Amino acid sequence: MSRPAPALRSAAALAAMELRLTSRRGENVLVTLVIPVAVLLFFAAVGIVPATAGRAVDFLLPGALALAIIASGLVNLGIATAYERSYGVLKRLGGSPLSRSGLVAAKIASILVLEVVQVVLLVAVAAAALGWRPPAGASPALVVVAALLGTFTFAGLGLLMAGTLRAEATLALANGLFLGFLMLGGIVLPIDHLPDALQVVARVLPASALADTFRVALSGTGDVVGPAVMLFAWGLAAVGLSVRYFQWE
């Protein structure tokens, strides 16, 4: 005969398990750690990014941070959860003493840990390989806010797909969106370099809102309220729809 363990202990155990499984999935390590670093180094090296204000790395590092958050929330969490749903892992967890809020808390905690690793890695690579130094106006607090807002929004989008689509469809769509956001989301190319029609689309994407929020946080210049509010609106919509339509099996 047993009792449920304290919620915090249960959630911590599941978060640790999620991280262990992420580290075992080669494709997750690739998309969350290798690709953002590779994108940062490659586009800094080829010099196609016009350094309108300062150097290319000042534009690319916030973009790479945004890409890392998208990789963690949308791609990694979305695909992993979609397969957990199709294997019945979520259903089995639902039959355990772990509460539903404990399950969500564990997922969020595991992504936040992964994101700390991503941010530290990207900043270290930018500093060591590209000579990046934080400008005087950079705000670490605002970087944290941008990361949390971005996590809320992209984890919400990932879970919305995972909970409503087949696992294979989530896999395809998450990768497609990742590529779309990379090209159109102001990650590696400033949006004003896109054709006019695409600019209209690009400016309302959650990816460009997140990249712009990171840019303001790291440069200390520009308006942060506009992109942050747009990012939050996307997050509210995604999380609201997931709560409403998520199917556990």
Partner 1 sequence: MSEAAIAAREAAAPATEAPASASEPAIRLEGLVKRYGARPVLEGVSLAVSRGEIVALLGPNGAGKTTTVEIVEGYRRADGGTVRVLGIDAASGGPTLRARVGLMLQGGGLDPRSTPRDVLRLYAAFHVGGRDPKALLSLMGLERVATTRVKRLSGGERQRLALALALVGDPEVLVLDEPTAGMDPEAKHDTRNLVHRLRDEGRAVLLTTHDLTDVERLADRVAILHHGRIVADGSVAALTGSGEARLRIRLARPLDGAGATALRAELRRTHPEATINVDGPAQSAFAVGAVLPDPWLIAAVASWLAARDLPIVELRTVGGTLEERYLELTGDRDVEAAA
Would you put residue 134 in left (φ > 0), alpha (ψ -120 to 50) or beta?
beta
End-to-end CA distance of the chain: 28
Residue 166 in contact with partner 1, rule: CB under 8 A: no
Size of the site for partner 1 (CB under 8 A): 30
Q: Judged by CB under 8 A, which of 19, 93, 109, 172 binds partner 1?
A: 93
Any contact of residue 81 with partner 1 (CB under 8 A)?
no
Q: Does 148 bind partner 1 (CB under 8 A)?
A: no
Tell whether residue 97 is a contact of partner 1 (CB under 8 A).
yes
The residue among 17 and 179 lying less far from partner 1, judged by its C-beta, is 17
Q: Does 14 bind partner 1 (CB under 8 A)?
A: yes
Left, alpha or beta for 165 (phi > 0: left; psi -120 to 50: alpha)? beta
What is the smallest separation between the CB atom of 5 and partner 1, expressed in angstroms?
5
| Contacting range for partner 1; rule: CB under 8 A; set: 2-10, 173-181, 198-206, 224-232 | 2-10
In the bound state with partner 1, the residue whose beta carbon lies nearer, of 32 and 208, is: 32
Contacts from 218-224 at CB under 8 Å and sequence distance 24+? Answer: 218/58, 218/61, 218/62, 218/134, 218/135, 218/138, 218/143, 219/53, 219/54, 219/58, 219/62, 219/135, 219/137, 219/138, 220/135, 220/136, 220/137, 220/138, 220/139, 221/137, 224/142
Q: Which parts of this chain interact with partner 1 (CB under 8 A)?
A: 1-6, 9-10, 13-14, 17, 20-21, 24-25, 83-84, 87-99
